[in-house]
Structure 1
Amino acid sequence: MNITIQKFGGTSTSSVPTRRMMYSHILEAISHQQKVVAVVSAMGRFDDPYATDTLYSLVGETVLDDEELDRLVHIGEDIAALVIKGELFKLGLKVTSVTNQELGIITDDHFQEANIIDLDGSMILEKLQTYDVVICPGFQGHTRDGRITTLGRGGSDLSAIALGVSLKASSVEIYSDVNGIYTADPRVVANPTKIDCISHQAMLALALQGAKVLNHRCVELASRFQVTIHARSSFSHEQGTLVTSDPNADYPEIAGIAGKSGLTLIRLLGFPNTAGANELLKNELERKKTKPSAAVYSEEGDYSLIFDSQQISNAIEALKEVQMQLDFDRIVVRGRVGCVSFVSEKLAEEKRRFYEARKALESFGVNIILDTCENISAVYYIDRNEVSKTQRLLHQYFFN
C-alpha cells in the first residue's frame, strides 16, 4: 500500500475556495494510486469562529488548567476534519475520518505542549483497507490512559511526521501559503530564491532561528526517522522543496537567512568559568524549566545568555539563586533583542564567512550586540527593531 501524508494548515482549511484547492492535491495523489492520510488544522486564524486562538479567547483569563485547555482547543481540528470529510464525500470519494483515540499518537502528560512517546498506526491502516482517504485532526494526541493532549504551536506539522513514521508512508507533504522553502521569508525580503532541496540539519537550524515554514519539532522528528518532507503550496501545483538527509542531494552552499525578535540578553558579570559553577547554573535553570538559546563566555569574565523573553521571569529567579551561591558581581538584563542568522553546510570549515558577514553588516551600520558561530549556524544579536532590515541586508550580501 502506497500512503501519502498531506498536512493542510488553517489558511488551507479556512474557506470553501481554499478547501477546493486543498482537494485538488488530494485528488492528484489518488490519481497516482496513492492512499491519502490528510492531517488538518483548525479552520482559519484568530476571529475565525473555529480557529485555535479563537477557542482560547472564549475562556480568556480563567481558572482552566492546562489539561482542560487541551480538551477545549483540540475541538477546532476535530471540526475541520468532519467538515472536510463531509465535503470530500459529496465529491464522491471513499473517505472517512478518525477520532483522537484512533490517531495512535501517544504522548506524555505535558499538557499544551505534549511530547510524543509512542505511535500506533494500526487503526488508520485498517481504515485504509476500505477507504482511499482518511482525514485526521492535527495538533493532538492522548496519554496512555486516554486523556487528550495538544502538541503546541505548529503541532499539526508534528502530527504529519508522526503519522508518516507510524504508517511507513511513501511521502509526507506539508502545505502552506508559500511554494516551498526560500532563501529568506518572502514577507520580509523581496524576491528571495526558492530552494529545491535542503538538508534536515539546515532546515532545523533555520527553524530554530525564526524561519516559519516548518515547525522545528517536526523537522527534528523527521530527521530522527529519516522522513523526507515535501514542502508545497496549497494554492499551486508547483513542486516545492524537499527536506531530506540524502547524502547525494545537491544542497545549496548558503541554505538561507532567518530572523526573530522576542529575545532578552542577560549578562552575568564576573561569573566564574568553572565546571562547578556551570553545573550549578544548568541545574537551577532546569529547575525553573528554562534554557538559554545561546551562551557566550567572554575573556573579560562575563557570561552572556540569550533567552526567549517569555521565559525571562523564571530565568532571572534561577540566576539570582545562582548569584547568592556564587557571589559573582552583577546580573545585567537587556530586553528588546532580536537576531538574524545565516545557515551554511560548510560553515564549520569556512568560518571566514561568519567574520566577513559580520564586517559587512557593521559596514551597513548594524550594531551587533553579540554573535555566535556554531556548527552550521551564524547568529548576530541586534536590537529587535532592526531585525527585518538586517535580514534584507544579509540576504543582499549573500544573494544579490
Structure 2
Amino acid sequence: MRIVVQKFGGTSVATPSARELVVKHVLNKINEGYKTVVVVSAMGRMGDPYATDTLLSLLNGKKMEARERDLLVSCGEIISASVMASLFADKGYKAKAFTGFQAGIITDNNFGNAKILDIKPEKILQALQEGIIPVVAGFQGYTEDLEITTLGRGGSDTTAVALGAALKAECVEIFTDVEGIMTADPKLVNNAKMLDEVNYREVTEMAYNGAKVIHPRAVELAMQHNIPLRVRSTFSDNQGTLIKLGPEKVVTGIAHTTHIAQLKIEVPSNDKELESKIFESLAQKGISIDMINIFPDVKIFTLAEDVVSKATEVLKELGVSFEVTKNLAKVTVVGGGMMGIPGVMLSIIEALKKENIDILQTSDSHTTISCLIKEEDVKKAVLALHEKFEL
C-alpha cells in the first residue's frame, strides 16, 4: 500500500473555496494510486471563528489551567476534520474524521507543548484498507491517562510527519499559503527565489531562525525517519520545495527574527557560583536565551522582548548589575556547506558595512552565522546579504 500524508494549514481550510482546493489536491493523489491520509489545522487565523487564537481570546486574558486550555484549543482542529470529512462524503467519497486520540497519537503530559511518544495507527490503516479517507485533527494527542494534549505551535506539521513515519509513508506534503521554501522572506526581498530542493538540516536552521513556513520539530522528525517532505501551496499546482537528504550549499538562504532584546550582565570573574545561579534561575523561570557570549566579567545573551521583564526580575533578585537593549533583530545566513569555507564571515561583514549596519553581536554553528542588529535595519540587512551571496 503506497501511502502519502497531506497536511493542510489554517488558511487552506478557512473558506469554502479553499476547502474545495483541498479536495482537489487529495483526489489528485488518490488518482495517482496513493492511499492518502489528510491532517488539518484549525480554520483560519485570529478573528476567524474557530481559529486557535480566536478560541484563546474567549478567555479574555484570564488564566486557565493547562489541562482545560488544551481541551479548549483542541476543538479547532476537530471542527476542521469534521467539516472536511463531510465535504468528501458530499462528493461521493468515503471519509472519516479522527481526533488525535482516535488516530492513536500518544504523548507525554506536558500540556500545551506535548511531545509524541508513540503512535498506534491501526485505526488509520484499517480505514485506508477499506477505501476510506482518514481526516485527522492535527496539533493534538492523548496521554496514557487519557488526557487530551496539544503539541504547541506548528503541531499539525509534527502530527503529519509522525503519522507519516508510523504509516511508512512515501512522502509527507505540507500545504500552506506560500509556494514553498524561499531564499529569504519575500515580504522583504522581492526577488527571493523558491528552492526546488533543500536539505533537512538547512530547512531546520531556517525555521529555528525565523522562517515560518514549516515547524522545525517536524523537519527533524522527518530527517530522523528519512521521510521526504514537500512544502507547497494549496492555491496553485506548483510542486513547491522538496526537503530530503542531499547536497548542501555554502549559503542556502537568509532568515531573520525580530522583537529581540540583549542583556549584558556584570559578574566578577572569581564568582563562579553567581554565574551558575544566573543561568539556573533563568532556566527555572522558563526563559530561553540565545546568542550567548561568556567573558570573564561580562555575560551577554539575547532573549525575546516579551520575557525581558521576567528576566530582569530574576536578575534584580540576584543583585547583579545589568544592561538591557531592546528593538533588536537577528539575521542569519544559513548554509549546510559553509563549514571549512573561508570568507563567509568576511562577506557578511562587507555586506552589512556597505549599508552602515552595526553588528552588535554574533554567533555561529556548523550551518549558520547570525548577527544581532537594530530592528530598524532588518530589511536593509536581509536585502544586502541576499544580494551579496547571489541568492
- What residue is the counterpart of 1:366 in the other structure? 357
Q: 1:308 aligns with which of 297, 304, 307?
A: 304
User: Mapping of 1:35-74 within 5 angstroms?
Assistant: 35-74=35-74
Checking the alignment, whether the CA contact within 8 Å between 2:170 and 2:228 is kept in structure 1 is no
Tell me the equivalent position of 1:392. Answer: 383
- 1:45-82 deviation digits (Å, cap 9, x = unpaired): 11111111111112212242221111111111111111
**What is the CA-CA distance between 1:242 and the residue it aligns to?**
1.3
Describe the superposition over 1:103-142 as per-residue Cα deviations: whole angstroms up to 9, x where unpaired. 2221122212212222221221122121341100111111
1:333 aligns with 2:324: yes
Distance in 2 between residues matched to 1:357 and 1:79, nearest whole Å? 47
For the Cα contact (< 8 Å) 1:9–1:41, is it kept in 2? yes
The 3 A distance-change label for structure 1 pair 312 and 131 is farther
Measured against aligned partners, the alpha-carbon deviations of 1:173-208 in whole angstroms (never above 9, x if no partner) come to 001111111101112210211111111111111111
Q: Which structure 2 residues correspond to residues 141-160 of structure 1 after superposition, within 5 A?
A: 141-160=141-160
Flag the 1:236–1:280 CA change in 2: closer, same or farther, 3 A: same
Q: Do the aligned residues in 1 keep the contact of 2:248 with 2:337 (CA within 8 Å)?
A: no
Which residue, out of 282, 288, 296, partners 2:285? 288
Q: State how far apart, in whole Å, the 1-side matches of 2:370 and 2:270 are.
A: 23
Contact in 2 for aligned 1:124/1:134 (Cα 8 Å): yes
Q: Secondary structure at 1:56's aligned position in 2?
A: helix
Q: How many residues align?
A: 391
Secondary structure at the aligned position of 2:389 is classed as helix
For structure 1, the 5+ residue unaligned runs are none
The residue identity in structure 2 corresponding to 1:340 is V
Structure 1: which amino acid aligns with 2:362?
D
TM-aligned CA deviation for residue 275 of structure 1: 7.0
CA positional deviation for 1:278: 5.3
Give the CA RMSD over aligned residues: 2.0
Q: Is the 8 A contact 1:197 1:251 kept in 2?
A: no
> Hey, what's the Cα distance between the residues in 1 that align with 2:328 and 2:261?
5
Q: Return the alpha-carbon distance in structure 1 between the equivalents of residues 151 and 75 of structure 2.
A: 14
- Once residues 11 and 307 of structure 1 are traced to their aligned partners in structure 2, the CA distance between those partners, rounded to angstroms, is 30
SS of 2:242's partner is strand
Q: Equivalences for 1:142-291 in 2 at 5 Å?
A: 142-244=142-244, 246=245, 249-270=246-267, 272=269, 279-291=276-288
Matched residue type, 1:178: V
Paired letter, 1:306:
T
Residue identity matched to 1:205: E
3-state SS in 2 of match to 1:174: strand
Query: Paired residue for 2:77?
Result: 77
CA gap of 1:109–1:292, structure 2 versus 1, over 3 A, is: same
Residue 103 (1) aligns with residue 100 (2): no
Q: Is the 8 A contact 1:229 1:243 kept in 2?
A: yes
One-letter identity of the residue aligned with 2:84: I
Partner residue of 1:297? Answer: 294
1:285 is displaced (CA, Å) by 2.7
1:355 partnered with 2:346: yes
Cα contact 1:259–1:388 (8 A) shared by 2: no
* Contact 2:355/2:380, CA 8 A, preserved across alignment: no
Asked if the contact 2:170–2:227 (Cα under 8 Å) also holds between the matched residues in 1, the reply is no
In 1, the alpha carbon distance for the partners of 2:55 and 2:267 equals 47
Structure 2: how far apart are the matches of 1:162 and 1:238? 25
- Give the whole-Å Cα distance in 1 for the aligned partners of 2:290 and 2:226: 25
Report the TM-score, using the length of structure 2 for normalisation.
Answer: 0.94
8 Å CA contact retained: 1:271, 1:303: no
- How much does 1:252 deviate? 3.4
2:336 pairs with one of 312, 328, 345: 345
Once the two structures are TM-superposed, the CA of residue 286 in structure 1 deviates from its matched residue by: 2.3
- Counterpart of 1:338, as a letter, is A
Say yes or no: does 1:119 pair with 2:119. Answer: yes
Q: For 2:134 and 2:268, how far apart are their aligned partners in 1?
A: 56
* TM-aligned CA deviation for residue 221 of structure 1: 1.9
Cα distance between partner residues in 1 of 2:170 and 2:84: 23
Paired amino acid for 2:360: I
User: Is contact 1:30–1:132 with CA below 8 Å preserved after alignment?
Assistant: no
> Where does structure 2 lack aligned partners over 5 or more consecutive residues?
none
8 Å CA contact 1:121, 1:167 repeated in 2: yes
**Aligned-partner residue type, residue 368 of structure 2:** S
C-alpha separation in 2, matches of 1:210 and 1:262: 11
